[in-house]
Amino acid sequence: MSDNPYQTPPPDNPFRDAGGGYGPYEGKRPDSMTGHVRVVSILMIVQGALELLCGLMLGVFAVVVPLVMREELRNAPQGPGQPPREFMLAIMPAIYGTMALGGLVAGGLHLTAGIKNYRFRGRTLGFTALIVGFAACLTCYCAPTAIGLAVYGLIVYNNASVRQAFEAAETGLAGDDILKRY
């Protein structure tokens, strides 16, 4: 090798150092995303807790808003072109209830999958939580983070080294050992 630092590395494997390892990767593959699994897991736990909180809040709204509206609509005049009062009182709990259900389902799955995936268990549950997590879009509040988490998580979970790490965890290998090996 020449003294030129701008020279193109040899074509066989530019990541290998002189000792045959992968340099700072300590024997891991350079394209390994195994370290990202714990990041995704922590993000899923936080996302799930916030979705559960949002779902509970919307569930309370499903009960309280019609009660408040009933009093307001009783005193308000019925104008032309406005929907019937009974329709409004019936549709509001359905809307808030659907939003609450989306948050509670997505939140429960994210929380459960995040806890299991932190120890490299339940990769399929992680996939399911990331896909079903789009139900959090029904809450409107959690939509941007749910979409971002799903994209990031699906990229990480489809990595070959991550797949191998989850398979190694099924054989009984501990999470910290998996991070060192893969």
Per-residue pLDDT at 181: 66
pLDDT in tens, 33-89: 788 888 999 999 999 999 999 999 999 999 998 888 887 777 777 778 777 777 878
pLDDT tier, 135 (very low <50, low <70, confident <90, very high otherwise): confident
In sequence order, what are the residues at sequence separation of 6 or more whose Cβ sits closer than 8 angstroms to the Cβ of residue 88?
A: 69, 73
Per-residue pLDDT at 25: 45
pLDDT in tens, 75-94: 777 778 777 777 878 888 99
Dihedral over Cα of 10, 13, 14, 20: its sign: negative
Q: What gap in Å lies between CA 5 and CA 96, rounded to an integer?
A: 62
Across the chain, mean pLDDT equals 81
Task: Compute, in degrees rounded to 10, the torsion defined by CA atoms 42, 115, 141, 33.
Answer: 40
